[in-house]
Amino acid sequence: MDDESGYFQLFVEDGNFYNRILLGTLLPEQLWVPLPHFFQTWLRNYIGGLLMYFIPGFFWSFYIYRWKNNVYVPREAIPSSEAMIMQIQVSMKALPWYTLLPTIEEYITEGGWTRCFPRVHYVGWLHYVVYVALYLILVEFGIYWMHKLLHDIKPLYKHLHAPHHIYNNKHNILSPFAGMALHPLDGILQALPHSIALFIVPMHFSTHLVILFMEGIWTASIHDCINAKFWPIMGSGYHTVHHVTYRHNYGHLTIWMHWMFGTLVEPHDHKED
């Protein structure tokens, strides 16, 4: 029993370490140290989410829309500042709810309710690589179908997902800041396959957190309307097609699910109506 409690205590120690790095660097101790562990974790995730959203978003938008001007995107397709501000406002309303999901994941992992492991040496590097690959396959499958169902089930589309699709390249307002501009429940549902996978596949929890936050940056990159294509990556060229047809390229990291289920449209094959 002591060995088991010590095992799960490693998750708590990791969480405290990450809290000290981020919160200890950015905030006075009196603002975060008195908080319960759960709320410290949420605050760390929230601030991390803000940094993940604004730093790449501002850098990438400045680089492709202002510095390079019309090199990557036609001048007429560059989104207005007003459009990007609107996307930021929607994202800021949703972000506190988005970051609640990884906070709950961490809480239940610390309680021993998932199949996560705290250190690679508990499984070995070979198993680690296999488990990460299985995790990514499950997430890819789950997010594909979650996103597709948000389109196919009309009440879900109308009340949850349709607000995200006001940002489309027909109106030249799609930008990296649109990646997280969703109804809060929409964003949580699309991230939920990450959580479900933790109950199915043994997963190194810190790796899971890194993947989750890196995918926030990825989500920004696939909304920049640059018509790039790097097979088999589901890049912005593919996802821009999705924001025009609404029926193809539901998109995550790769095109494989779309190829398997017949919803893939190549960017060069697409013609706008």
H or E element: which one contains 116?
strand 116-117
Where are the domains positioned within the chain? Answer: 1-261
Is a pLDDT exceeding 60 seen at residue 171? Answer: no
β partners of residue 245: none
pLDDT digits (tens, 9 = 90+) for 72-101: 877 777 888 888 999 999 999 999 999 999
Distances, alpha carbon 153 to alpha carbons 156, 163, 167, 188, 200, in Å:
6, 15, 20, 17, 26
Task: Tell me if the bond preceding 56 is cis, omega within 30° of 0.
Answer: no
Return mean pLDDT, the chain. 89
Q: How far apart are the first and last CA of the chain?
A: 64
Contacts of 152 (CB under 8 A, 6+ apart): none
Question: How many Cβ atoms are within 10 Å of 266's Cβ, its own excluded?
Answer: 14
| CA Rg value for the chain | 20
The rounded distance, in Å, linking the Cα atoms of 138 and 173 is 32
Close Cβ partners of 240 (under 8 Å, ≥ 6 residues apart): 169, 174, 225, 227, 267
Angle between helices 100-110 and 37-61 (to 10 degrees): 140
pLDDT at position 1, please?
Answer: 46
Three-state DSSP at 233 gives: strand
Main-chain phi, psi angles of 116, to 5 degrees: -75, 155
For residues 206, 161, 260 and 255, what is the CA-based torsion angle, rounded to 10 degrees? -60
Supply the pLDDT for residue 271: 54
pLDDT tens string 103-122: 999 999 999 999 999 999 99
Closest CA to 187 of 219, 211, 227: 219
pLDDT above 60 (res 102): yes
Q: What is the pTM of this model?
A: 0.90
Cα separation of 90 and 77, whole Å?
A: 21
State how far the Cα of 170 lies from the Cα of 168, in Å rounded to an integer. Answer: 5
Nearest to 212 by CA among 172, 258, 180: 180
Would you state the pLDDT for residue 172?
A: 66
Tell me which DSSP letter residue 162 carries. G
